[in-house]
Amino acid sequence: MIKKLKEEVENLIINRCKQWLKNNWQKPFGFIILTLAIAFVIIIPIHIYIFKYFSPLIFIDKYYFFAGVYSISYFIIFLIVFQAIKYPITKKNKIGIYIAISNRFEDPEAKDLIKKIHKEIEAVLLSIGFGDVFNAVLLDEYKSQKIIKNPKYFCVSGIKKSAWSINLDKARWHFVLFGSLKCAKSGNEKNYKIEPDYAISHKPISSQESYDLGKDFKSFLVTQKWEFQSSQEMSALEVISGNVKENIMYALGVSAYVSGLINIAKIYHEALYALIQARILHESYLGSLNNRLKKYLTWEHHILGNYHLKKDLNLAIEFQERSLLYNPNFYYSHLNLAHHYYLKGKEYKSKTDYHLEQAEKHPVDASYKLSKACILIERENKLKEGADLYIETLRSGSIHPSIVQGTLVFIDDQIKDPLKQYFIFIKGLIYYFKIDQNKSKIFFKKFINDFKEKREYEYWLQKSEKYLES
């Protein structure tokens, strides 16, 4: 009886120790205990065996020998275990996806379900069409809990990190899905619910931009289905993996966008946009995602159009036209297209006028008036009206600095034409009202010197002299 009780107590202690090590081996103190325990488990038998059968062959003191063997073994075990607590590093040619779903209630079935979700996500990511570029890693319970409890450690820069705090900097991660899997019994079935959140890596942005992004991601997550019954496991795996796929493609596109990688952003967002179109009518939650994608795709094509303007005018036009497919009333694309078709020549007069009219119908600022002023001067030879509109717009109109710079580039290109040297006056106006009044004198003086004998520019000469005096 006493012997049996002794065995039960010993088994209880051993089991408790095993359970404690299982739950705490990745923590600093548990880590030390584990390495010591493993070392003793290995060293003691080796010590007994070596000194029992091979002691005559050992030429140094057995205690020195034992200390050396123990030290080497402990060091090797330490390295192995330490590597196990580190976050896996994504290869340079891969996109690192971390899945950190915590089994809060330590439910064995839930644990298996998390593994199945991970495998399903892997399969879905392979089917996207980007090739084998995604590396989806399922993090263990300890690492998942660290991320869930302390998301600020990988979201906020400048926080000091140690080996036992969350440190994803060197892991080359791109997307982290984290959250808890809750389960509760209802009758004969279990109900499961994932409370998801995620973070993306990107170049540094302002705290306000970061807040807005987080709010945007969260608002989309809550529209998706993350709750199901155990009997619905098959369909749940499909739905959840689909949810994750949508969030990954959307978020990676956003990450690329805010990091200035516009072409990559466009690729992700176009692919996702194409994927959801057939489902929008049947899955209402996709409506919000569709609207978000249209917004990003509008801007992405617009920015790419601006990028290609100097290299290929036709390609720039193509991008701006595609921008309007996602937002037919997008002001900046209409404004740019009016400018681009103007550059193509008089045969595109109708398209120039159409896009300028559309820009005027949906104004964001007063910059469309600059284009109108240019047309008054160039096409209709209304020098006074055109100059007055330039002055009115530059003096009082709200114009984005990028538009001012773009207008200045356009004016400089016009001045290169020997027949359009009069644009030096317009350049003077831009400098006077928007850039530097002192420097504007250079351009007004040059205009007066070059055009003082040309009476058709009398009004412009008067204005130049006025601004010089002021």
Confidence of residue 197 (pLDDT cuts 50, 70, 90): confident
Q: Within this chain, do residues 371 and 344 fall inside the same structural domain, yes or no?
A: no
442 domain residue, yes or no: yes
Percentage of the chain lying above the pLDDT 70 cut: 82
Question: Stretch 104-116: mean pLDDT, rounded?
Answer: 83
Question: Stretch 105-120: mean pLDDT, rounded?
Answer: 86
Exposed (0-12), middle (13-18) or buried (19+): which is 70, by Cβ within 10 Å?
A: middle
Q: Within this chain, do residues 10 and 122 fall inside the same structural domain, yes or no?
A: no
Q: Within this chain, do residues 139 and 67 fall inside the same structural domain, yes or no?
A: no
> From CA 116, how far away is CA 118, in angstroms rounded?
5
> From CA 303, how far away is CA 347, in angstroms rounded?
26
Question: Is residue 408 over pLDDT 60?
Answer: yes
Question: Stretch 353-379: mean pLDDT, rounded?
Answer: 92
183 domain residue, yes or no: yes
Q: Within this chain, do residues 407 and 434 fall inside the same structural domain, yes or no?
A: yes
Backbone φ and ψ for 359, nearest 5 degrees, come out as -65, -40
Question: What residue type is 259 in one-letter code?
Answer: S
208 domain residue, yes or no: yes
Q: How many domains does the chain have?
A: 4
Confidence of residue 212 (pLDDT cuts 50, 70, 90): confident
Q: Within this chain, do residues 302 and 383 fall inside the same structural domain, yes or no?
A: no
Which of the listed residues 342, 362, 382 is the one where a domain comes to its end?
362
Backbone φ and ψ for 161, nearest 5 degrees, come out as -125, 145
Q: What is the pLDDT of residue 439?
A: 92
Enter the pTM of the model: 0.78
Backbone φ and ψ for 244, nearest 5 degrees, come out as -65, -45
**Mean confidence (pLDDT) of the chain:** 83
Q: Within this chain, do residues 156 and 224 fall inside the same structural domain, yes or no?
A: yes
Q: Could you read off the pLDDT of 144-169 as tens digits, one per residue?
A: 888 887 766 555 444 344 545 555 66
Residues spanned by the domain of 410: 365-470
The alpha-carbon radius of gyration of the chain (Å, integer) is 34
Question: Is residue 73 over pLDDT 90?
Answer: no
- Coil/strand/helix, residue 184: strand
Q: Within this chain, do residues 296 and 381 fall inside the same structural domain, yes or no?
A: no
254 domain residue, yes or no: no
Q: What is the pLDDT of residue 301?
A: 97
Which of the listed residues 66, 85, 104 is the one where a domain comes to its end?
85
232-246, 344-358, 429-443: which has the minimum mean pLDDT?
232-246
Task: With both helix axes pointing from N to C terminus, report the angle between 331-344 and 286-308 in degrees, rounded to the nearest 10.
Answer: 30
Let me know: does 177 contact 98? Beta carbons within 8 Å: yes
Q: Could you read off the pLDDT of 304-333 as tens digits, one per residue?
A: 999 998 889 999 999 999 999 999 999 999
- Residues in contact with 184: Cβ distance below 8 Å, sequence separation at least 6, in sequence order: 190, 191
Q: What is the pLDDT of residue 156?
A: 47
Q: Within this chain, do residues 369 and 355 fall inside the same structural domain, yes or no?
A: no
Q: Within this chain, do residues 71 and 151 fall inside the same structural domain, yes or no?
A: no
Which of the listed residues 218, 248, 278 is the one where a domain comes to its end?
248
Q: How many CB atoms lie within 10 A of CB 361?
A: 11
128-137, 257-266, 349-358: which has the minimum mean pLDDT?
128-137
Name which residue leads in pLDDT, 248 or 145: 248
Q: How far apart are the first and last CA of the chain?
A: 111
39-48, 151-160, 279-288, 347-356: which has the minimum mean pLDDT?
151-160
Q: Within this chain, do residues 71 and 57 fall inside the same structural domain, yes or no?
A: yes
